[in-house]
Amino acid sequence: MANQGVLITIIVYNFLLIAIGFWAKKRTSNQDDFYLGGRGLGPFLTALSASASSSSAWSLLGV
């Protein structure tokens, strides 16, 4: 019974990821849109992204 719950969760999660991918594909028309978010992220999301990237790099180095 517990295995069915895990399997259903994995299937729903994968379906959501695929749906988000198709949604994002419609909004992306060139490489600038893909890499830079169409230059429309705003300062808060840009700072959040930079902070997450920095934290990930420092974690990889073990600092």
**pLDDT above 70 for 63:** no
Cα dihedral: 35, 39, 45, 51 (round 10): 50
Sign of torsion over alpha carbons 17, 18, 19, 23 = positive
Average pLDDT over the chain reads: 86
- Give this prediction's pTM: 0.56
Q: What pLDDT is recorded for position 1?
A: 64
| pLDDT, tens only, 16-29 | 999 999 998 888 88
